[in-house]
Structure 1
Amino acid sequence: MTDPYTAPGLASGLTPGHLGAPVAEPEGLPPGRAPGIEPPDPRRLRTGLACCLSVLALAGVVGLAVLATLLLWPSGQEKAADFAGSGAGTAQVSVVQGATLTQIGQALEKEGVVASVRAFTEAAAKSPAGTRIQPGTYTLRLRMAAGSALNVLLDPANANALTIPEGRRAEQIYAAVDQKLRLAEGTTKGVAGQQAAALGLPDAARGNPEGYLFPSTYPVTGETTPLTLLQLMVAQAAKRQGADGVTEAAEAYARSPYEILTLASLVQGEADNPEDMTKVARVVYNRLEKSMPLQFDSTINYALNRSTLTTTAGDTKLDSPYNTYLHPGLPPTPITNPGRDAIQAAAHPAEGDWLYFVTVGPGDTRFTDSYEQHQRNVAEFNARQAARSSSPSAGSR
């Protein structure tokens, strides 16, 4: 973030028993002799021997009975029902984000893929990678051995799903949907424009899905269309915003929920970890309160449909409502599709008086309310950049 009176372009960019211990033998006793026990009377040895032989004979009879019982009675819990082999036929099973192994096993059993939930969860427990099943829609065979089904689910290549990372713009998401569904370029964008009313967007969006295409992993099946995918994203965004208190934040900061979402999109574009996100959000609120222009390079990049780390003096004169160097306040719409961390940061910003921040290096973002200190931070950033003689890896606001 640069100050309104600072030449732009000086520094910019984005950036799970144990055995008991052995007991020592007491001193003064013959080897093997236990303390407190007298040696046996030789006169009793003959009688004792006869008793022992009788007991051993009886034990032999009882032992045979016990052995037979152990052989005929299952030890512990009965073995889980399981199929054998790799199965036949096909079935599709969807794994949603956050599903437990038991839930996945239940879905597999319901579709006839595995014989029992227990067989599947036991197979997963024996596998080092058993908890690494990715969300998606999988094609499996019917009546598979649980271990075979697990192997299919652990192969990422078998997951038929679309993952949308945080911070993507709507145009990038449209292209990803086209590619995943093997559609002609521009198909999903056309659907978003022509069927905007069917997406489930709030009135404030005015038919523009930007900001409402929530980043997550979505299942893709033979019945998936661009419209159904976009509807899932919008529904997930609404759910996330409700859970993270966007409406309450709007009331607290005298803003609309749409403005809080727009602010979250700026936070997503300017910070890359949850802690910094909460601080960037506070910088936005503080500058808005003081009627200071935001001067975010991310808004210039959005206007120019690019992703660069530098902003020139010419860029700051760009005639666009998204130019936050020229136009005060928030941009007219979100500029990215923010994830959970960014939305939470916008709704629950950190406490602080910061007005400026600069990312001096990876993981090192400096926040301050002093313009002079900010300039020193910027100078350090520029010195590092010059020393590396490479593209900027951080930026200032």
Structure 2
Amino acid sequence: MEPKTPQNKIKKLQQLKSEKKTVRKIVLIIGAIIIAAALIIGVSLYFYISNALKPVDENNKKPVKVELAIGSNIDSIAQTLEDKGVIRNAKIFKYYTKFKNDAAFQAGTYKIPPSMSIDDIIKSLKTGKVYRKAEFQITIPEGLTLDQIGDVVAKKTDYTSQEFMKLVTSEKFVKEMKAKYPDTVTKAVDGKKIRYKLEGYLYPSTYDFYTKKPTLHDIADKFVELTDSIVRSYEPQLKELDMTPHELLTFASLLEREATAQTDRETIASVFYNRIEQGMPLQTDPTVLYALGKHKNRVLYKDLEVENAYNTYKNKGLPPGPIANAGRASTDATVDPAKTNYIYFVSDKKGQNHFAETLDEHNQNVAKYVRSKNDQ
């Protein structure tokens, strides 16, 4: 046993200090190892989960048929999706949906491409619809004629306007549309005086396309398909009005080309109905322009004399068919017009319409709004 001399005490303290320093180093090293391990595990886990949540194959847009039976739980649904090759990992999918509280899925048959994201798959299974990112869109504005729609298609695809018109005016395509959508595309389109049988039958809307180059046939078919869906939604009103789908689309097309403001459509519709009821010609300028086959800023008096079935100055009632493709607002106004006694209307230089019940009132409006406009 060493004597307790001052030197020994100092030596002892130095040893303790050295041991503490060593222990501290060991603790720091172990701590660093633990932190590094945690980081490695965390990063690895992050990349593992992130990879598991990615689409199986972003380039594979071919739909895979997936059937989910009634009463399926999240475990069986996740496993089915993995087995079908539309998700990467069933367990990760299950925990991800539970974390987002998105596990209330609908039974049914789905067509899901391996390129679809996890979030879009979840959205699809919750709503019963398939959500995919469109390759491109085609927007058809209201009021366009068939040839103008051809121009729009030509700008958004590799097809020409001429190719589009050749298809949609072909007897083969018209016959196919009549067979496919018999409630909407009826024999009424076969009228001898109709210029284009499917004029007015390509609904104005924004269309999503999920392949880079769909066939021209599929594009046109999609336009007609939406028209069929829209027209059939008006079946109760058509029955009440004793109006055919062809008459609905024809009448709505007149409003689409004539109205300058949303609020005017119902009132203009009432004018047309009042004129028809009284046996008066509709006398709407857009039908004259359609009869001429020209786009003009102003209709001249000599234009009103054109001998053509579409000229509503020369012929009473509706023209043989639509003169453009009408949107929802004009179609709504057709089946639900305003209740008025108006027989006439004229627009001023700002495009605002002025309505009248008598010819004297109308002549006053013309003198005030049209002649003064033309004199400027």
TM-score range, shorter chain: 0.5 to 0.7
Q: For residue 111 of structure 1, report the CA deviation from its aligned partner.
A: 6.6
Q: For residue 179 of structure 1, report the CA deviation from its aligned partner.
A: 3.0
For 1:83 and 1:90, how far apart are their aligned partners in 2? 18
SS in 2 for 1:218: strand
The structure whose RCO (Cα within 8 Å, separation 6+) is larger is: 1
For 1:380 and 1:354, how far apart are their aligned partners in 2? 18
User: Which residue does 2:14 correspond to in 1?
Assistant: none
Q: How does 1:296-307 map to 2 (within 5 A)?
A: 296-307=284-295
User: Which residue does 1:74 correspond to in 2?
Assistant: none
SS in 2 for 1:186: helix
Is 1:315 the counterpart of 2:303 in the alignment? yes
1:355·1:369 contact (CA, 8 Å) conserved in 2? yes
The aligned amino acid for 2:174 is: A
- The superposition leaves residues 270-313 of structure 1 with CA deviations (integer Å, 9 ceiling, x where unpaired) of 00333211111111110011111111110011112223232112
Is the alpha carbon distance of 1:248 and 1:386 closer, same or farther for their aligned partners in structure 2, counting shifts above 3 Å? closer
- The superposition leaves residues 126-170 of structure 1 with CA deviations (integer Å, 9 ceiling, x where unpaired) of xxxxxxxxxxxxxx9887999xxxxxxxxxxx8611000001101
The TM-score with structure 1 as length reference comes to 0.58
For 2:262 and 2:139, how far apart are their aligned partners in 1? 20
Instruction: Indicate the percent of aligned positions where both proteins have the same amino acid.
Output: 28
SS in 1 for 2:263: helix
For 2:334 and 2:319, how far apart are their aligned partners in 1? 15
For 1:322 and 1:184, how far apart are their aligned partners in 2? 28
Number of matched pairs: 267
The aligned amino acid for 1:235 is: E
Q: For residue 217 of structure 1, report the CA deviation from its aligned partner.
A: 0.9
**Structure 1: stretches of 5+ with no match in the other structure:** 1-78, 95-109, 120-139, 147-157, 390-397
Is 1:233 the counterpart of 2:214 in the alignment? no
User: Which residue does 2:103 correspond to in 1?
Assistant: none
2:349·2:373 contact (CA, 8 Å) conserved in 1? no
User: Which residue does 1:169 correspond to in 2?
Assistant: 145
For 1:267 and 1:191, how far apart are their aligned partners in 2? 27
User: Which residue does 1:213 correspond to in 2?
Assistant: 202
For 1:82 and 1:273, how far apart are their aligned partners in 2? 54
Aligned-pair RMSD on alpha carbons? 3.9
Is the alpha carbon distance of 1:210 and 1:112 closer, same or farther for their aligned partners in structure 2, counting shifts above 3 Å? farther
- The superposition leaves residues 175-205 of structure 1 with CA deviations (integer Å, 9 ceiling, x where unpaired) of 2223322123411111112222122432222
Q: How does 1:62-211 map to 2 (within 5 A)?
A: 83=50, 89-90=58-59, 160-194=136-170, 195-199=173-177, 200=181, 201-206=185-190, 208-211=197-200
**Structure 2: stretches of 5+ with no match in the other structure:** 1-45, 64-84, 97-113, 121-133, 191-195
1:262·1:333 contact (CA, 8 Å) conserved in 2? yes
User: Which residue does 1:329 correspond to in 2?
Assistant: 317
The aligned amino acid for 2:339 is: E
Is the alpha carbon distance of 1:93 and 1:288 closer, same or farther for their aligned partners in structure 2, counting shifts above 3 Å? farther
User: Which residue does 2:337 correspond to in 1?
Assistant: 349
The aligned amino acid for 2:304 is: T
For 1:376 and 1:91, how far apart are their aligned partners in 2? 67
Bigger-Rg structure (1/2): 2
User: Which residue does 2:12 correspond to in 1?
Assistant: none
- The superposition leaves residues 244-275 of structure 1 with CA deviations (integer Å, 9 ceiling, x where unpaired) of 34x633542x4433222211110111003332
Q: For residue 210 of structure 1, report the CA deviation from its aligned partner.
A: 0.9
For 1:272 and 1:82, how far apart are their aligned partners in 2? 56
1:177·1:226 contact (CA, 8 Å) conserved in 2? no
2:251·2:322 contact (CA, 8 Å) conserved in 1? yes
For 2:336 and 2:155, how far apart are their aligned partners in 1? 36
2:344·2:356 contact (CA, 8 Å) conserved in 1? yes
The structure with the largest helix share of the pair is 2
Is 1:368 the counterpart of 2:351 in the alignment? no
For 1:371 and 1:261, how far apart are their aligned partners in 2? 29
Q: For residue 364 of structure 1, report the CA deviation from its aligned partner.
A: 2.6
Q: For residue 92 of structure 1, report the CA deviation from its aligned partner.
A: 5.6
User: Which residue does 2:212 correspond to in 1?
Assistant: 222
- The superposition leaves residues 209-251 of structure 1 with CA deviations (integer Å, 9 ceiling, x where unpaired) of 1111000111232352221122111121121122234x63354
Is the alpha carbon distance of 1:197 and 1:376 closer, same or farther for their aligned partners in structure 2, counting shifts above 3 Å? same
The aligned amino acid for 1:298 is: P
The aligned amino acid for 1:358 is: V
For 1:349 and 1:180, how far apart are their aligned partners in 2? 36
For 2:140 and 2:228, how far apart are their aligned partners in 1? 16
For 2:348 and 2:86, how far apart are their aligned partners in 1? 54
Choose 378-387 or 182-191, whichever is displaced more: 378-387
1:91·1:111 contact (CA, 8 Å) conserved in 2? no
User: Which residue does 1:23 correspond to in 2?
Assistant: none
For 1:142 and 1:236, how far apart are their aligned partners in 2? 25
For 1:112 and 1:273, how far apart are their aligned partners in 2? 50
2:344·2:362 contact (CA, 8 Å) conserved in 1? yes
